[in-house]
Structure 1
Amino acid sequence: MNKNIAYILLAVAGGILVGWLIFGNNNAASKNAADQHDHVGETAAQLWTCSMHPQIMQPAPGDCPLCGMDLIPAESGADGLALNEIKMSENAMALANIQTTVIGSAVAEDATDGMISLSGKIAINEENKSVQSSYFDGRIERLNVSYEGQQINRGQLLATIYAPNLVAAQQELITTASLKASQPALYNAVRNKLKNWKLTEKQIDAIETSGKVLENFPIYATVSGTVSEVMAREGDFVKQGQPILKVSNLNSVWAQFDAYESQISNLKEGQKIKVVANAYPNKEFDATVSFIDPMLSNATRTVTVRATLKNSDDLFKPGMFVTGKIKGASTMSSEMLTIPASAVMWTGERSLVYVKTDPNAPVFEMREVTIGTRNGTQYTITKGLNNGDEIVTNGTFTVDSAAQLQGKNSMMNKGKEKHAQVPLSEMKIELSEKFQKEFMNIINPYLQMKDAFVASDAKQVSAHAKTTLKALKALNIEDLGQMEKAHMIKSIEMVEVISKNENLDNQREHFVILNENLVPIAINVKMLDAALYVQKCPMANNDKGAVWLSKEEGVRNPYYGDQMMTCGSVIETVSKR
């Protein structure tokens, strides 16, 4: 009996043990899975960015490491996205009517006729511009033409002027008229003076006959045309030769087009061009290329192509958008990629498109492309896209706006590539011990000048620059190497300009160049009394970056002062050796 009870108890204990092993492990696994899930959720935490430097992404709030501004919340990144990819919701895609197209090797519909399409505007024909000026000193008593766009005719009264000198000349005419028989030379000289002031023979005879002096004199238009600028007002005192009006004859106008580098070889003066204005889409106007700008614009990478159009019917208004078509040798081949013009965002320096990188989700990436020629509504692409890429063809700017909001590369926010730079301290500069000792006299006045820049005090900058200049000129630079000597000569030039100038912006421009030459020398001095810090602001010098020396590790920006006091970072430390 006791044996049976022992067997039963042993079986129950065994069952409990087996149940714990089975269900207890399952609970532990569930707990581990839950813990793992929570951990995954943590990785998708809020990111923080800088409104001025969207490339900065931090896992917690704080200050921007570049400019010191407070970080703001950034949109959380989507799992699996590359650095410059953005993801949009299906709802946003629908609301913005964003459309995409898969591109492939093709020939544009209107490219088969070999026509090159150029975009441009109507402009005033500069050859038909004239200026209506005052021929004598005086005060404008009445201005009969007072607004731009007003039509005037030759001989029309433009203004009435009170001219003290002219009043005196009339009195001379009346006086010499009685002496013309005895002193004809004097009489003729007075008449010629009035003629030089553009008075007519009829006006001069009327003054002589009446014997009365006129105080106010009229100014008449010498040309016909349209007033393009009014340069004086009633009551103004004008000098002899001072412009009153600018007049343009719009009987002929210029059609000015922008042509890409790749199109220049197909263009020449004397070519026939067909011009279509947006205002008259169903009419073509024949013209001839009269000018091709010999200078290429560095900003837009285009040249100006000009044609002269007759405008006797006043159809063309300056500022109108026009399209020009020129017959040229087509450079397209069956393998050339073409995309709709609506897909391209052109910043002047870059041509950009958005590529859909995920065929199953609205994920996009900005890509820079190189454009060949434009043929009608199509661009040929020579670099940047591949056959089969899917690109945004409608709503491109909406996608770009989304990229800006997410802190990604965009049309207005080009990501800056980070290039490995050789530390300044590794620049091989040989300095004699004597020169290094003398150079130490420059450090303190330089640092005082730098602090004056931090305080944005132009007068103090100039004062400390004079002290620094005196120390620089006391150096013996004749024994330096050619490169070192050139650095010092340029430093002396920059400090001298700063010392003679109290325009803070101009002083800071020269301070940039000074540091480019002086800092490499300073960091090769081995007799420092204390450590120096080479600091750099990436936004100074038009976003090219600029350096300076400081004895404090904390950044106090000399290029912006209170505007962005902490913008910058320590890039090198020159220790006492």
Structure 2
Amino acid sequence: MKRYLNILLLLLLTAFSACSEQAHEHGEAAAETTYTCPMHPQIVQDEPGTCPICHMDLVAQTTHGEAIEITEDLAFLLQPTNETVVANISTIKPEEKAVPATVEMEGIITYDERRIYSIPSRVGGRIEKLFVKYNYQPINKGQKLMEVYSPELVTAQKELLYLVQSAPEDKALIEAAKQRLRLLGATDAQLNRLIRTSEASYTFGIYSPYDGYVIGFNTTAPSATPSSVPVTAPGAGGMGTGNTNPGMAGAGAATPAAGSELQLREGMYITTGQPLLRVVNPNQLWAEFNIPAGEVTSIAKGAPVQITFPALPGEKLEAQVDFLQPFYEAGENFAKVRVYLPGQQQLARVGQLVSGTASYTTAPALWVPREAVLDLGTTSVAFKQVRGAFKPTAVTVGTTAGNQVQVLAGLTKSDIIAANAQFMIDSESFVKINE
């Protein structure tokens, strides 16, 4: 009996040992087998293949027990190599300050529009004599421009002479008759001569009330916008065929050259209110500059401007911004800045191209050296230090002043960045910015 019990016990032990071995083998088979890249451990797959980054064959790995927890430090070590750059380079911090800056502008010399005058006809009549013969003829204040026959002026003169002779005691009526002649364009000197000689003049002189030079109404003053009228090339047909005069390049067909005759003629009739001449006083000129849209808010009235003349190297003028145009011209993305030229200028001529440098002080902002910001074309990047490594960070830049660039967004005063971002460039694909 005892022998049978021993045999039974031996059989039970053998069966238990076999079950344990089968359970152990089953447990090993149940262990998860995964495949990973030796160079990029973050790549893990359930089946064999190749790494999508370096295209190496994946190797098998078996995970026993609980999964490894990916901590922040471990995640930093496992991140792709093109996201951070580890190097021993000099670093800087953005500096918050206000920096003196300048903006370059291009412009043109033009007339002071407050000194462009129109001389209209105050009476209707016929031009008997014309003393202004050509455009740009210089005239002085009080100079006789023409003599006009006007029945209305003749009648007004005779009315004044009748009152002076028949009712000298009626001062109010005589003064009213004088005032009527003044409103018709008569001067006090003409009235005194009329009363003194007691003879009405059948031709009345029209005098210039301004100094300057004459511009007829078939001539326009130069503006800050170059002419867009194309010049017909020789042989292209039309009215311009064969015109090889270089002086007409860029000019409209209706604009005469300097010295051409005015449209007024002796013997022609004029009507009341008809514009006769324009007079331009060139003693005060201004320069109109085009300033980029991004710089409009930086420039204020009174900002100093240094004007240079490309055709006159070494010549400079110091002026100030007087006016900022509050709108953009159609089709342009530039604002216009007006600068009055100081005093009577011998250097400046109307229509002359000039350059200007306006100075101003920026508002307090973060500034870094230009070498610390990398321009990728569509965005700008600075390399911020994160736990000993440098990570590319998108930044928004503003004004550039000398070797400094303004950072509007993307960095703070406490950030540490690489002093020179150029060392990062191996290829454009090397810089990867996390959004």
Higher RCO (CA-CA < 8 Å; seq separation 6+): 2
| Greater share of residues in strand | 2
| Greater share of residues in helix | 1
Q: Which has the larger radius of gyration?
A: 2
